[in-house]
Structure 1
Amino acid sequence: MDIQQEIKRLEEEIRKTPYNKATEHHIGRLKAKLARLKEEAEKQRKKTGGEQYAIKKEGDATAVLVGYPSVGKSTILNALTGAKSEVGDYDFTTLKPVPGMLEYNGAKIQIVDVPGLIEGASRGRGRGREILAAVRNADIIIIVVDVFTLENIDVLKNELYEGGIRLDEKPPDVVIKKRATGGLSIKSTVDLSIDEQTIRSILREYKIHNGEVLIREDITIDRLIDAILGNRAYIPSITVVNKIDLYPDAEIPENAIAVSAEKKINLDKLVEEIYRKLDFIRVYLKPPGGKVEEEPMILRRGARVEDVCRKIHRDLLENFKYARVWGKSVKFEGQKVGLEHELEDGDVITVYAR
C-alpha cells in the first residue's frame, strides 16, 4: 500500500469512528499518523519539481484573493487597485498570480489574484497544492464567493485548512523541548479535555520519547498535532460575497461583506476591513542627529526593530549596533534597545550602525 492509499484508508477510518472519550486515544493516534503521512507525501511531491506559483511580496502587506473560478476575483482586484487582470465569464481566466497595489491611510497594500481554487485543491486538483503554497505567504486571505455559490465558503475554508493554513487562529500555546534521554514530562497550566495517554500517543507517533511539554491552553488533538509539526500558517481572513447586484435579497452569512465589484457597491467597506484586519502600526524614523520624519513607516503589530532595519536596507541589519526608541513601547524616552525590541504605534526610532 503506497502513501496515498494509506492516507485514504486513515481518512475513512477517522470518518467512520465516532468521537467520544472511549475512542479519543485511537482517533488521536490515527490523526497523528495521517498528518505525518501527508507531510511525507508533500515532501515527495516537492522533490519531483514542476512549475511553482510565486508571489513577490511588495508594499506594507499582501492580501490574496482566494475563490473558485468566475466569482469575480479579477474584477475585485481591478476595482480596488486599477490592475489589469483579465476578466472573463469562463473558468480559469487567471492562470498565474496577478498583483495590484491599493493605497489607503498611508499604507500600501498589495492585492493578489491567484488562479481559482476548487474542491480537492489540497489533494492537487487544478494545481491546488501550488496555489496553496503561494497563498501561505499572504498577510491576509480574502475568500471570495458570489451570491449563487455561498456553499463554497466552507469548501474553500476546508481546502485552506487541509493545505496547512489556519484562518483567524493563533498558534497553539504549547512549548516542546526535546531531549536525548530522561523520558517525557507533560505539564499544563489549564485543565485539559484530552487525557495524557492521548497526548503521549500523539507525541510517540512523531518519535518524541524524551523531553518537556508545557501546554497552556485546553488543547485539541488537531492543535496539538499542529504544535508538533510547527509548519502551519496562521493568517487572518475576510469573506466576501460578490455580485450582490444580481441577487439583492441573498442571505449573506454573518461576518461576510456583500459587494458588487462590477457596480462598485460596498468596496469602501471591504477596503476598511482589510486595513483593520491587517492591524498596522505607524513608526516614525529619526536619523541620528536629525529631525523626526513626517511620513511614518507602516508596519504590522508585533513588528520589532529588526523589521525596521530590514525595511530600510538589509545592509543596515548586518551592520546594526543599537537603536533608541521614544514612545509607548519603552520604559523611558530614548531607551537603548536591540533588534528584538517590539514596537508600538506612534513610536519614534533612531537606528545606529557600525
Structure 2
Amino acid sequence: MPANLTAQYHKAEAAYRQAETPEEELECLQWMLREIPKHKGTDKLQADLKSKIARLRSELTKQSKAAQRPSHRIPKQGAGRIVLLGAPNVGKSSLLAAVTRARPEIAPYPFTTQAPQPGMMLYEDCPMQLIDLPPVTADFIDPHTVGLVRGADLVLLMIDLANDNLIEDTQAVLDRFRAGKTRLGRESGLDEADVGVSYSQTLVLLNKVDAPGASDRQAILDEFLPLPYDRLEISATVGTGLEDLRRIAFERLGVVRVYTKHPKEKEPDRSKPFTIRRGESLVEVAEQVHRDMARTLKSARVWGSAVHPGTIVKPDYQPVDGDVVELHAG
C-alpha cells in the first residue's frame, strides 16, 4: 500500500533534515509522527519514527548529565544554506573569499580552516549562506561537519584539478559519508527504508580548471572515480565559472523571490525580496511579513509572469519567481 505522505509531512521531514540540535531533531520527529497518515502502508515508517524518538530521548537524557562540547552553531541566514566540502587545499577558502565578503585565512598548507566559516553569496538580489567547512581526510572529520552537511540545502563537493592525488583525496571524503547516516546524493531527502539516513543534494565543483594538466587529471578522475553528481568547472582565483555557480546554486535551492506592494502604493518594494521555496504558497510569504497576517490572510492581488496583472488569488496561490503581491488580511 502506498504511503501517500502529505505536504505537511514533507514539510516536517525537511525541517528534520535541517535540525541543528538534538532537541530540534526530536521536535521535528514528533511533528512527522503527528502528520504521517495512519494506515498499513505507513506501519513500518511509524515504527521507525517511534524508535528514533525513543533513542533520541535517551541520548538527550545522557547528554544532560554530561558536559557539553563547545558549539560551532551558525545561525541560518539568507534564502538557503550551502556548504563547501572537500579534502585539504582544494580551494574552499579561496572560493568563499571570491564570492562573498568573508575574509577567511588562505594558506598553501592543510587545515587552514579549523572551524566553519560563513559568508553570504549573492545571486542578483538574493543572498544565500555559504559555509566553508574544515577539510575531510581518511583520518579526520570535524564532528560539526556532518551536522552542517546534513542540514545543508546544497553541498558543493570541491575537487582540486591541480592535485595529482585527487582520486585518493576525493575517495576519502566519499568514504567518510558513505559510512555514516549523512550521505551525499543527487537530491535531498530521507531514506524511506531508514528515516535515520539523510541525503544532501550535492554538486561537484572541479576547481583550478586553469591549472597545468587539469584536463588530464579530470580525464583520470572520470575513468577511475566516476561521480554520480552534476558538476561545474571553476577557478576560484581566476573567476572562471563563478557567475554560473551563483545562478546554479540559486536554481538548486528552488528559491522563489516575492516582492510586496502596499495597497496605497503604486510601486512594489524591490529593495529586498521575501524568499520561499518552490511549491510554497502566499501563506509562507505572509508569515515572513507578520505572524498575524498569515493567520488572517484572505486574498491577494498578483502581478507576475503566470497571471494577468492584478489578478485576485486565494492564500493557497503558489507564487513564481519575481511575482509582486499585494496581501489582504481580514
The two structures have a TM-score, normalised by structure 2, of: 0.65
Q: CA 1:316–1:113 in structure 2 vs 1: closer, same or farther (change >3 Å)?
A: farther
1:159 aligns with 2:176: yes
How much has 1:58 moved relative to structure 2?
Answer: 1.4
Aligned residue among 168, 172, 183 for 2:186: 168
The letter for the 1-side match of 2:176 is E
How much has 1:235 moved relative to structure 2?
Answer: 3.6
C-alpha distance in structure 1 between counterparts of 2:290 and 2:170, whole Å:
40
How much has 1:308 moved relative to structure 2?
Answer: 1.5
C-alpha distance in structure 1 between counterparts of 2:276 and 2:127, whole Å:
10
The two structures have a TM-score, normalised by structure 1, of: 0.61
- Residues 292-344 of structure 1: CA deviation (Å, up to 9, x unaligned): 51524343322333431343345644x54434253677899312325xx5333
The letter for the 1-side match of 2:312 is G
How much has 1:96 moved relative to structure 2?
Answer: 1.8
Aligned residue among 319, 323, 327 for 1:347: 323
How much has 1:87 moved relative to structure 2?
Answer: 0.9
Alignment of 1:1-354 (within 5 A): 40=55, 44=59, 47=63, 48=66, 49-119=68-138, 125-128=140-143, 130-147=144-161, 148=163, 149-151=165-167, 152-161=169-178, 162-169=180-187, 171=189, 223-226=191-194, 229=195, 232-244=197-209, 245-252=211-218, 253=222, 255-293=230-268, 295=270, 296-314=273-291, 316-317=293-294, 320-326=296-302, 333-337=311-315, 341-353=317-329
Q: CA 1:166–1:307 in structure 2 vs 1: closer, same or farther (change >3 Å)?
A: farther
The letter for the 2-side match of 1:168 is R
Contact 2:85/2:133 (CA < 8 Å) preserved in 1? yes
How much has 1:98 moved relative to structure 2?
Answer: 1.3
Q: Secondary structure of 1:236's partner?
A: strand
C-alpha distance in structure 2 between counterparts of 1:346 and 1:263, whole Å:
32
Cα RMSD for the two superposed structures: 3.6
C-alpha distance in structure 2 between counterparts of 1:76 and 1:42, whole Å:
40
Contact 1:324/1:334 (CA < 8 Å) preserved in 2? yes
Q: Where does structure 1 differ by over 4 angstroms across 4 or more consecutive aligned residues?
A: 39-43, 231-234, 313-317, 327-332
Gaps of 5+ in 1: 1-31, 173-222
Q: How many residues align?
A: 260
Percent of aligned positions that are identical: 26
Gaps of 5+ in 2: 1-46
Contact 1:145/1:153 (CA < 8 Å) preserved in 2? yes
C-alpha distance in structure 2 between counterparts of 1:250 and 1:320, whole Å:
61
Contact 1:143/1:238 (CA < 8 Å) preserved in 2? yes
- Residues 117-156 of structure 1: CA deviation (Å, up to 9, x unaligned): 3336xxxx4333x211122232211111212243244543
Contact 1:53/1:131 (CA < 8 Å) preserved in 2? no
Q: CA 1:292–1:302 in structure 2 vs 1: closer, same or farther (change >3 Å)?
A: farther
Contact 2:286/2:297 (CA < 8 Å) preserved in 1? no
Higher CA-based Rg? 1
- Residues 256-279 of structure 1: CA deviation (Å, up to 9, x unaligned): 223222233332332332233223
Q: Secondary structure of 1:302's partner?
A: coil
